[in-house]
Amino acid sequence: MNFIHVLVIAVAILTILAAVALVFGSSKTERTHSLSFFVAAIGEVIWAVSIAIFLSLGNSEFDARIAPWLVKGIYIGAIIMDSAILAYVSWKYRWGKILTTLFSITGIALATIFIYDPSILYSEIILTGDSPSVSIDTSKWFYYAYIIYFCLLIPSFCLSLFYRIRHTSDKKAKRGYLFFLIGLAVAGGLSGVFDLIMPLSRYDLIWVGPLAIGLIILGFYFAILKYKMVPMNASWLKTLSSVVIISGAFISYLLIFHLVFIALFKVPTPSYQVVLLNFIMIAIVLLLMPAFSEIIDLTKSLISTKQIDLPYIVKKISVIDGKKSTLKEISSFLAEHMHFSYIGFIIDGKFYVADDCKISAEVIKEIEEMPIPQHGAWQNTSSLKNSAIKDFNISRIAVLTGSNGEVIGQMIFGKSDVKSSLDNKELAKIMMIVSLIGVIIEDGGRSNS
């Protein structure tokens, strides 16, 4: 089986899993509505799997026997899927019920006629040559009616979805439905070209339609999760949703890889050795992703000298074990990433700092005797001698408090490496870090050295 056909089947399976999660995740009042999405997924699976298997057929006797059934699945599955999509987006409204009923009855009529007399659609099924194909009989009315049916149905569910967006008050739901509208419009256009027009001359590209529709359905399911359109509270639903989304992203990558590969090397499909190598490289990249992320965050924090990278600093110091990490290690990290010449701590009369900065015992005693601020954590340095501030490049001093508000020490800031004065935004970031450091030091005990 061709690699792209495997991807088509994989996407179809994921759409069913997404539909199952949506049905069970919906409230009781919305569950009937979600069943339409499930029926659409069933139609997509019938359509997609029938296409993938049909395009993989050979010319054996068994293949010749199952080929007519697969062709029925191709043309009937599409009817089921699109009719159910229309029901999902419009059944809420009275006119939507009427419209869905009309299209459903028409679709059932077309499917019944085709099942009773397949020759009304095609003159023969060709299993010889490079790829199986169906010789569409354009001398009869059925295929023209089939095309008209979808040319009316696709705009119908797009316009219905547009109407739903206009009359939905929830802004997040609007964004989700807008994504679905744009995706369905694009996928519907691709399906019209590759599954309705091109089969008259070239049949091997009909996989484009189900693959595009399947990816859009998965994308809409992601939007449902992102914008909380349906609550997924059960643990197994969360697990299932994670599998669907991650697998969908992985398949999208493989699809891009396949298209780029055939465009560069001009071959119909990559060999299994190339696909296996690709899987191995993906696994390696995923294993190295945490390290890549850490390097990127570290680099960003170090080079962002005009501002403090608060998320990175908080992430790192939040995992510090106050009982194992020394205050000198914490001092070194903070000075480097907060962009000060040094940052030190006065705890129980002792001064802890990472570099060679030495503050005399006399100045340390003066700092300890400074009055505790009634509001905030910044202490007024005007009581210190100017020579002390100048000699030791002291820019700011903050009190460190524990979780219960008790003062446990002070945090001394040297000269800012990049700014002569800090704005309110930067000061607010520093205060958050000061508060967190106080709790960490309290947790580690005052004997830390």
In terms of Cα–Cα distance, which of 233, 226, 239, 148 is closest to 180?
Answer: 226
pLDDT, mean of residues 84-104: 92
Dump pLDDT digits (tens) for 185-208.
999 999 999 999 999 988 988 999
Q: Which residues contact 358 (CB under 8 A, 6 or more apart)?
A: none
In terms of Cα–Cα distance, which of 12, 1, 19 is closest to 248?
Answer: 12
Report whether pLDDT(270) > 50: yes
Read out DSSP for 19-68?
A: HHHHHHHS-HHHHHHHHHHHHHHHHHHHHHHHHHHHTT--SSHHHHHHHH
Supply 169's token pair. 């008050």
pLDDT, mean of residues 216-239: 80
pLDDT, mean of residues 270-291: 74
Is there a contact between 393 and 414 (Cβ–Cβ < 8 Å)? Answer: yes
Q: How far apart are CA 19 and CA 4, in angstroms?
A: 23
Sheet holding 350-352, edge to edge: 350-352, 343-347, 407-413, 396-401
How many secondary structure helices (H) and strands (E) does the chain include?
A: 14, 6
Q: How wide is the angle at C-alpha 224 spanned by C-alphas 222 and 228, nearest 5°?
A: 120
Is there a contact between 74 and 44 (Cβ–Cβ < 8 Å)? Answer: no
373 secondary structure, DSSP code: P
Q: Average pLDDT of the chain?
A: 84
The pLDDT of residue 447: 41
What percentage of the chain has pLDDT greater than the value 90?
30
Which of 63-72, 294-303, 384-393 shows the lowest mean pLDDT across its residues? 294-303
Q: Looking at the whole model, is its pTM more than 0.85?
A: no
| Residue 87: band (very low, low, confident or very high) from pLDDT cuts 50, 70, 90 | very high
Q: Which residues contact 340 (CB under 8 A, 6 or more apart)?
A: 334, 395, 413, 414, 415, 416, 417
Dump pLDDT digits (tens) for 125-154.
998 877 899 999 999 999 999 999 999 999
Dump pLDDT digits (tens) for 293-351.
777 766 766 665 566 777 888 888 877 765 556 788 888 888 888 888 888 898 888 88
355 secondary structure, DSSP code: S
Q: Which long-range contacts (CB under 8 A, 24 or more apart) does 327-331 make?
A: 327/352, 327/441, 327/448, 327/449, 328/352, 328/353, 328/354, 328/449, 329/354, 330/437, 330/440
Helix (H, G, I), strand (E, B) or coil at 150: helix
